[in-house]
A = this chain, B = another copy of it.
Amino acid sequence: MGRGKIVIERIANSTSRQVTFAKRRKGLIKKAKELAILCDAQVGLVIFSSTGKLYEYASTSGFKRHSGCGCVR
């Protein structure tokens, strides 16, 4: 899906791994949103980068962090 074909395995080069992460994370969240809207579904998505950064998406208020244990419902 791009200039060259790639194998699905951990990208060795740290820089290109980060670049790919940023691109694909954005694409994944976009598709999650589209699924929620097109199909009237509820979608929750949580992504931690290898450096520990959190990225998340939730389609509706049906998913809420509830106080006390910090979990996602």
A interface SS class: mixed
Nearest chain B CB to A52's CB is how many angstroms away?
9
Contact indicator A38/B50 (Cβ below 8 Å): no
Nearest chain B CB to A71's CB is how many angstroms away?
3
Contact indicator B39/A48 (Cβ below 8 Å): no
- State the oligomeric state as a number of copies: 2
Also in contact, A10 and B40, with CB within 8 A (given A31-B24, A31-B31, A71-B69): yes
**Size class of the A contact interface (CB-based, 8 Å):** 35 or more
Out of B10, B20, B71, which one reaches A72, CB within 8 Å?
Answer: B71
Out of B21, B24, B32, which one reaches A28, CB within 8 Å?
Answer: B32
Contact indicator A37/B9 (Cβ below 8 Å): yes
